[in-house]
Amino acid sequence: MGVVGKNVEHVLIAGGGLGGLTAALALLRQGFRVTVLEQAPTLAEVGAGVQLSANATRVLGLLGLDGVVAAYGAQPTGKEIRLWSTGQTWQLFDLGAASVQRYGHTYAMFHRADLHKALAEAVKDLAPDAIRLDCRCESVDMSGPRPAVLLSGGGRIEGDLLVGADGVHSRVRRTIVGADQPVFSGMHAWRGVIPTKQLPEHLRKPAGVNWVGPGRHVIHYPLRRGELTNFVGIVEGSNWNVESWTQQGSLEDCLEDFTGWHEDVQTMIQAIDAHFKWALMVREPIERWSSGRVTLLGDAAHPTLPFMAQGAAMALEDGYVLARALAAHRDDVPAALSAYEAARVERTAKVVRGSNGNAARFHNPKLADAQGAAQYIEDQWAADKVRERYEWLFEYKVDEVPV
C-alpha cells in the first residue's frame, strides 16, 4: 500500500472519455500536472447523443466551455411524454429559458463526439502532451509509495494519484473492489443517429421526447444544433447480453422489437442507417471508491442504467468535485479522497436507484391500453412527482458542495 499524506502534483487518469477529460481539465485548471492514459489509438467518441441537464452544463460553464454549449448543443424547449400506441402527447417540463431561469444553466443535447473533442482541445490547450493514446491500463501496482499503471503492451507509469475513469469495464475498479459481477438487466438498447432533414416536419421539433409503452420505451432528441436526431429504444425480455457501444443489430430486428408502435417510431427506425445494440447491465452502487492513492470516477465508480440520462452528467460532476477536493487538501490525500467520496457516493447511488426505478415506470403494463395509460401518465408525470424526481439533480451546484 502506498505511503499517504504527501503532496499530490502529478495525477494519472486511466481513460479519456467524457469523465476522464473533464477531470483532467478541472485538475489542470487547479494547477496539477495530469497524464491521461487512453486505450484507443485515436481520440474519438461513439456516434451517439448525450443529454446534459443544468447540473452538468454548469460544470462545462465553470470550465470555460459555455461557448461549446452554445456552438454544439441543441437546446430544446421542453420534454414530452408520448404514448406508444396512439402518439398522444403530454408536456413533461419546460427546458430552454425555463432551465436557465430555475437552475442558472441550460439543458443541452450533444453529439458525444462534439463534446469529447471540445474537452480534449481544452485539455491540450493547457497541456499539449497530457493525453497519451494507445495506453491501455492492464493492471495497477499499489505496492510502492506511488501508484503505477501497468500498460498492456508493457511499460509502467507512476503518478502521485491514480484516477480510474476507464468506464464500465474498469481495470482500476478491480484493484479497489475486486472483479465485478454485473447482472444482465434483461433489457437491450437500440441507438442510432438520423439526419433530421430526413424526418417529417412534425418530428423535427426542438424537444426531448420519451415514448412509453408496456415493456419498452423510446427516447429521441435533437443533436448538433438540431441537424441530427438521436434515437434510443429500450426493450425488455431480451437475451442480448453484449455490453458494447460498437456492436450492431439489424433494421429488421429493431423494427420487430417495436411492432405495433406508433408510425412515428417506425419512421425513425427506418431512417437510422446503423442500428447499434447494447445490453444493459445492472450493478449495485458501491460505498468505497478509493484505496490509498487510487480512486474512481464516472461509470468506473457507479455504472447506471441510462433511464435518468445522468451517467455522463455524474461523470462530469465527479471530475470537477475531485479536482476541488484535491485542491482543498493538497497535502493530505486521505482527506481529499474522503471529502470527494462524501460529496459524491450518496448522490450517484441515488441516480443508480432512481434509474432502476424508471424502468418499471416507463415500461408499466398499465400503459397497454390507451385509457388506463392516460390515467397512469397523468399520475406518474404529475408536476409535483416530476419535481421530486428531478429537482434535486438539476439544482446541484458542483462548485458549492462542501469538500
Ligand X SMILES: Cc1cc2nc3c(=O)[nH]c(=O)nc-3n(C[C@H](O)[C@H](O)[C@H](O)COP(=O)(O)OP(=O)(O)OC[C@H]3O[C@@H](n4cnc5c(N)ncnc54)[C@H](O)[C@@H]3O)c2cc1C
Phi, psi angles (nearest 5°) of residue 79? -120, 145
Residue 160 within binding range of ligand X, rule CB under 6 A: no
As a three-state string, the secondary structure of 39-81 is: CCCCCCCCCCEEEECHHHHHHHHHCCCHHHHHHHCECCCEEEE
Give the distance from CA 186 to its chain's centroid.
20
Q: Which of 63, 272, 312, 325 binds ligand X (CB under 6 A)?
A: 312
- Cα separation, 291 vs 164, in Å, equals 11
Four-point Cα dihedral 85, 91, 92, 97, nearest 10: 140
Which one-letter amino acid corresponds to residue 283? R
Nearest distance from C-beta of residue 45 to ligand X, angstroms: 8
Comparison of 6 and 225: residue with beta carbon closer to ligand X: 225
Interface positions, 361-390, toward ligand X (CB under 6 A): none
d(CA 300, CA 286): 11
Note whether 321 binds ligand X by CB under 6 A.
no
Which window, 161-169, 342-350, 373-381, 386-394, contacts ligand X (CB under 6 A)? 161-169
Is residue 130 involved in binding ligand X (CB under 6 A)?
no
DSSP secondary structure letter of residue 317 = H
* Minimum distance from residue 144 beta carbon to ligand X (Å): 20
Question: Footprint of ligand X on residues 211-240 (CB under 6 A)?
Answer: 232
- φ/ψ region of 384 (left if φ > 0, alpha if ψ in -120 to 50, else beta) reads alpha
Q: Which is nearer to ligand X, 6 or 136 (CB)?
A: 136
The verdict on 17 binding ligand X (CB under 6 A) reads: yes
25 makes contact with ligand X (CB under 6 A): no
**Stretch 46-105 residues interacting with ligand X (CB under 6 A):** 50-51
Is 63:122 a contact under the CB 8 Å cutoff? yes
Count of other CB atoms within 10 angstroms of residue 340 = 26
Judged by beta carbon, residue 131 or residue 373, the one nearer ligand X is 131
221 flagged as catalytic: yes
Contacting residue, 111, 173, 188, 191, with ligand X by CB under 6 A: 191
> Interface with ligand X includes 271 (CB under 6 A)?
no
Residue 278 as a binder of ligand X (CB under 6 A): the answer is yes
DSSP category for residue 301: T
Q: Is 37 in the site for ligand X (CB under 6 A)?
A: yes
Nearest alpha-carbon partner for 113 in 50, 165, 157:
50
Options 38, 264, 317, 341; binder of ligand X; rule CB under 6 A: 38
Query: Among 41, 143, 183, 56, which residue's Cα sits nearest to residue 108?
Result: 56
Residue 132 contacts ligand X per CB under 6 A: no
Q: How many CB atoms lie within 10 A of CB 67?
A: 11
Catalytic residue among 72, 107, 221, 396: 221
Establish if 254 lies at the interface with ligand X (CB under 6 A): no
Instruction: Report if residue 174 touches ligand X, rule: CB under 6 A.
Output: no
Which residues are catalytically annotated? Answer: 221
Which residues make up the interface to ligand X (CB under 6 A)? 14-20, 37-40, 50-51, 136-137, 165-168, 171, 189, 191, 232, 278, 298-300, 306, 309-313, 315
